Each structure stands twice: as C-alpha cells, then as structure tokens.
Structure 1
Amino acid sequence: MEYNVNKGIGKSVEFKGLKSQYLFIFAGGLLSVFVLFVIFYMAGVDQWICIGFGVISASVLVWFTFRLNAQYGEYGLMKLMAKRQHPRYLINRRNSRRFFLYPKRKEVAHA
C-alpha cells in the first residue's frame, strides 16, 4: 500500500482526509493512548481491561478528530481558539461629556 501524505508544494499536509492541525491532534492522541495503555499494563491492570480501554479510547479519538475536521475545516479550529482569546465587548464607564470639555491647565507659581 502507498499513502500520499502531501499532495504538492505550498499545500497543507493531508492524510486520509485529515488536514493540518487535526493530523497532529490525531497522532498525539494515539501516542498518548498507547502510553496510557502501557502504564496501565505495567501497573498490573488486567490485560482485557487495558485492551478495552485502548480500543474504546482510540475509537473515540478517531471519531472526535474526524468530526472536528468535518465541522471546522482546515483553519476553523485555530479561528475558534483565537476568537476565545478576545473579549466579547469593551466596557467604558467614563462620562461621555469628558470628550467635549477641555482640561483645565495648572497654574504655574512664579517665584
């Protein structure tokens, strides 16, 4: 089998429909599931529980990653994260008359 990972120069990385950051989320998630599987197995948890955990969590990860990819698109998840960084509105509690009044000058004392 031959898998094309990149389709050309200047285009984002794509593998089996997953684009850009979703591919990294997918790979990192599978790596973390594998590490947790090994930790549970080395801690003495029953092997069938470890296998069940690995299969179920990997399946949920695959489903969730492809769902995010379909819902937000290539750059939508980054846009959503950037939108959460900005405030919804700005509050200015100063009186609006201050825009129309000139500030009073301080008098200089002569010695």
Structure 2
Amino acid sequence: MATLYKVNKGINQSIEFKGLKAQYIWYLGAGIIALLIIFAGLFILGLPSLLCVGLIAGLGTLLIIKTYSLSRKYGEHGMMKAFARRQLPKALKNSSRRMFMRK
C-alpha cells in the first residue's frame, strides 16, 4: 500500500515534486503547518469540529491552488527576481552638484 513518489533531482537542477519547483515546496509545507496550528487553535477555542474542518479544508484548497499558480507563473527563480525588480527605485534624486564637482 505504500506509494512512492518520484522526486526529480538531477545534477545542478532544483527539486521538483508533483509540478512544484524549488522554494514553492517549502511554501506549501509551511502553509500546511500553519493550517494545522490554526485548526488546533480553533478547536481549542471550542468551535464545532465540522466548522473547523470545513474552514481548514477551504483554506487548504486555496493554499494549494495559489502555490501551484505561483509556481507556474514565476517558475524557479522568477518570484525572487520580481521582488528584487520591485525594490529598485524608479529614479534617483540629487539636490546637490557636489558629487559631480569632485575630481
């Protein structure tokens, strides 16, 4: 009954698991752990168990869909490049000519 999943890991290639590439595997894992903690918190607060399960199932489905869409949209390194591009300034302002007058 044990199912073996193939993890494609070649030489100098990033890990790919069921279509998720590189860091998105870690994002999905962290999201699932966060959902587990949220479920425990809701259950301890005394909410009905079916409500907790339904809420976590919906959030889990949303997490999986969003993670796979980010993996397809940005690829292995694209999201890091997009965040870096967003942090670049559009223009540089200089109110003094002192920088250009130095020899």
- Name the TM-score class by shorter chain: 0.7 to 0.9
What is the TM-score when the length of structure 2 is the normalising length? 0.85
Q: Which amino acid aligns with 1:67?
A: S
| CA–CA separation in structure 2 for the residues paired with 1:72 and 1:6 | 19
Q: CA deviation at 1:38?
A: 1.1
* SS in structure 1 at match of 2:75: helix
Counterpart AA for 2:80: M
**Which residue number in structure 2 is paired with residue 70 of structure 1?**
72
Structure 1 residues 14-70: Cα deviation after superposition (integer angstroms, max 9, x where no partner): 100100111111110011011101111122111111011110000000000011111
How many aligned positions are there?
101
TM-score (norm 1): 0.80
Where in structure 2 are the equivalents of 1:1-111 lying within 5 Å? 1-94=3-96, 99=100
| Off by >4 Å, runs of 4+ in structure 1 | none
* Structure 1 runs not aligned, ≥5 long: 103-111
Aligned residue identity for 2:91: Y
Give the letter aligned to residue 36 of structure 1: I
- Bigger Rg, structure 1 or 2: 1
Displacement of 1:95: 5.0
CA distance in structure 2 between the partners assigned to 1:36 and 1:70 by the alignment: 27
Once the two structures are TM-superposed, the CA of residue 7 in structure 1 deviates from its matched residue by: 2.6
Identity of aligned residues (%): 36
Question: Which residue type is aligned with residue 38 of structure 1?
Answer: A
Amino acid aligned to 1:53:
L
Aligned partner of 2:53: which letter?
Answer: I
Greater length-normalized contact order (CA 8 Å, ≥ 6 residues apart): 2
RMSD of equivalent CA atoms: 2.2
SS of 2:89's equivalent in the other structure is coil
